[in-house]
Structure 1
C-alpha cells in the first residue's frame, strides 16, 4: 500500500486519506491502485459500514491527476502513458456504484481527478473552503473522469460554462451544479467523521445521510444561480464561436470575464470539450462517457496543446501558452473528429451500454 494513501479506521468507518499535501494530493497511479484495492477489501469486511475519503493538509481534497507524469511519459512516447487513465476511469465508475455508504469531504481545492473521486459518490460534502473546478481547457486538455456525464446534468447550461471556462466555483456553486450535496463547516468535519464511525451496525445510507444533516448549513445563493439566465442564453449553442459572440453581445461583467477567460484557453480544447459535453448529454450513462473520454485522451497525447499547456502552467510557469492552432477559425472540424474515433480499445469490454 502506498504511503501516499493512508488507511485509517474511526469506529465502523474506514477512512481513506490522500497523503500528498505538498502536491495538493494530486493523484498518481500508485494512489489510484491503493484506493481501489482498499475499497475492494472493505466490501468483504463486515465490520466496515461506511467509507470516508478525505485529503491530508488544509489546502484541498485533491487538485487532480499528476499531469507532470503524463507529460513526461507522453513526451517519451512511453506506451504505458495511458495506464493512469486505464485504471483511474474504472475507479470513478466503481465509486459511482459502490454498495456501502461512500462519504467524501471536498474541503478546499477539489479539481479534475479530485472531482472524479468525489462527484460520483453518494454523500458529497463541501465546506466554506471548497474551490471546485474542471480547469482542463487551460492546459490543452478537456474535462474527463466522467465529467462529460456529470456536467451535462447540471441545470441549464451551467455544466457547459464550467467545462469550457474551467473557472472555479465555491461550495454553493458545487451544490447548485449537482456536483456536491451539502455544506458542512470545515471545523465540524472531524466531529462528523466520528459521528459516522459511531453508527456501528446502523450505517446504511439513510442513517449516514441523517447524521450528515445534523452538521449542515445552508450554502446560500451561488454565483452560478445568480448568473443562470446569462449562462443559458450564451452557452446553449453548439459552436464555440457562437458562444463567444453571444457573450460579446450580452454585456456586463460576468459575460465579459467569462469571454476573456475562454479566449485564453486552447482553441482545440474548447471545441473538443463542447463536442464531448454535447455527446455526454445524449449518452446512455457514465461508462459511455468514460470510454469516449479515454479515446480523446489518447489522442491528446499525440498533439501539441497538452504539452504546451503543461509547460506553461507547471514547468516554465510563464502562464503564456502558445496554442497551435492559435485561433478557433484555424481548428479543422476533421481534427476534432480524430479525437472521437474510439479506436483505442475498451476500458469496460463487458459492460453493456
Structure 2
C-alpha cells in the first residue's frame, strides 16, 4: 500500500499528485484517496503552492477507476461493506474538492481514463488529453451506475450524448472527449511531457498564475489527428436517447433499421436491465441538480448497489471469472419495476434484491 500515491512540491510552487499503481492501471483505493484529499486541503491553504498537477505513473493510463475487486468483497462481511461505503464517501469528497478548488489543477488524461479516473479529472481547471487517451464511464458493463458526479457532467455533453455514453459505456478518444466537454486541451503525449517540464521549472511565486499558465498551455496545444465519431452520430443519438424510459429507447431503436440502431440495441441488451433503468433516471434527475446534489444522490445509489445482487453478478462476469456471461436476477427491463427502481434513490438502509 505504501507509495501508491506520490506527492511532491517544486521550489517554484507546483504540487504534484502521481497515482502510482501502474500494474493496476492506477486504480483507486481508499488508502490512495484519503491522503489525496488531505494534501489538496493542505495545499489550498499553503500560499507557497500555486498549481496542482494530477497524473498517473506509467504509459498505459491515468486511472482505470476504482478498485473493483475490493468493492466486490463488500458482499462477504459487514466490515467489507462498511469499507466499500467509506471508499465511495471519500472518493466523492475528493472529486467535489477538485470541482471547488481555488487554485488551478492540471489533469493529465493520458492513456486509460475511466470511471473514478474521470471523477478525479472532470472538475479540474485544465484537462489535457493526448493521442493515447481512452475515456469511458464503463459502469453499466458491471451492473453498476455511472457515479463520481456523472449525472452532473454527462449532462454537459451536447444533446443527449451523455445518456448515450452512460448507458452504452462507450469508449471514446481525444477528439470526442473534447466534443463531449470532458476535456479542454489536446497535446501530443511528447508535448505534454515538455509542457509539464516547463510548468515544473517555472517560478510561479509573484506571477499572475492563471494568465501565465493559460499562455503556456496555448504554446503546446494542438488538434487531434484522428476524426471524432460522436459528432457524426449525434442526430441519431438525440433521436433515440431523448426518450425518457429505457423501454421507449428500445422502441425507438427498433423503428430504425440503420446499423447504428441495430448495434446500439445489442449493446444495451448486454447490460443489466436494472442498471440501465437506474442510470437513465439518474441522468434525467441530474439535469437540474447542482454538482453537490448529484454527488449526494451518487452516495445513496452506491450504498444501495452494494446490496444489489446484480452488481456482484456483473463484477463476477467481467472482473472475477471473466466469462462475460452474467446471469442477472432481473432479466429484462420490465422485470425491474419502477417501484423497485425508486427504492434505489431513497434511504440506503433499505435492503434491496
Aligned position for 1:229: 235
* Alpha-carbon contact 1:13-1:50 (below 8 Å) kept: yes
1:116 aligns with 2:119: yes
Q: How does 1:326-341 map to 2 (within 5 A)?
A: 326-341=331-346
Is this contact kept in 1: 2:74–2:306, CA < 8 A?
no
Query: Conserved in 2, the CA contact under 8 Å of 1:157 and 1:231?
Result: yes
Residue 31 of structure 2 aligns to a residue whose secondary structure is helix
Aligned with residue 192 of structure 2, among 186, 189, 200:
189
Match of 2:98 among 95, 107, 110: 95
Distance in 2, Cα, partners of 1:324 & 1:6? 42
Deviations 1:292-335 (A, max 9, x none): 11111111111111100111111111111111101112111111
Q: TM-score, normalised by structure 2?
A: 0.94
Counterpart-to-counterpart distance in 2, 1:75 and 1:233: 43
Q: Is the 1:157–1:232 contact (alpha carbons within 8 Å) kept by the matching residues of 2?
A: yes
2:46 counterpart of 1:45: yes
1:200 to 185, 204, 212: 204
**1:203–1:63 Cα change, 3 Å:** farther
Seen in structure 2, the aligned counterparts of structure 1 residues 248 and 210 have a Cα distance that, compared at 3 Å, is farther
Give distance in 1, aligned partners of 2:214 and 2:264: 36
1:237-256 equivalences in 2 (<5 Å): 237-256=243-262
Query: For the residues of structure 2 that align with 1:50 and 1:334, how far apart are their CA atoms?
Result: 47
**Superposition RMSD on alpha carbons, in Å?**
1.5
**CA drift at 1:146:** 0.3
**Please, what TM-score do these two structures have when normalized by structure 1?**
0.94
Superposed structure 1 runs of 4+ greater than 6 Å apart: none
Describe the SS at the equivalent of 2:26.
coil
SS class of match (1:7): strand
* Gaps in structure 1 of 5+ consecutive residues: 345-353
Q: Which runs of 5+ in 2 are unaligned?
A: none
Aligned partners of 1:296 and 1:340 also within 8 Å: yes
Seen in structure 2, the aligned counterparts of structure 1 residues 108 and 321 have a Cα distance that, compared at 3 Å, is same
Contact 2:113–2:135, Cα closer than 8 Å, also in 1:
yes
> 1:342: how far off?
4.0
Residues of 2 paired with 1:7 and 1:46: CA distance? 17
Residues 342, 151 of structure 1: alpha-carbon distance in 2 compared, 3 angstrom cutoff: farther
Counterparts in 2 of 1:1-353, with a 5 A limit?
Answer: 2-10=2-10, 11-78=12-79, 79-197=82-200, 198-201=202-205, 202=207, 204-219=209-224, 221-283=227-289, 285-343=290-348
Indicate the larger mover: 10-19 or 306-315: 10-19
Displacement of 1:2 after TM fit?
Answer: 4.3
Does structure 2 retain, via aligned residues, the 8 Å contact 1:62–1:110?
Answer: yes
**Structure 1: distance between partners of 2:325 and 2:214:** 45
Deviations 1:33-60, CA, capped at 9 Å, x for gaps: 1211111221233222100000001111
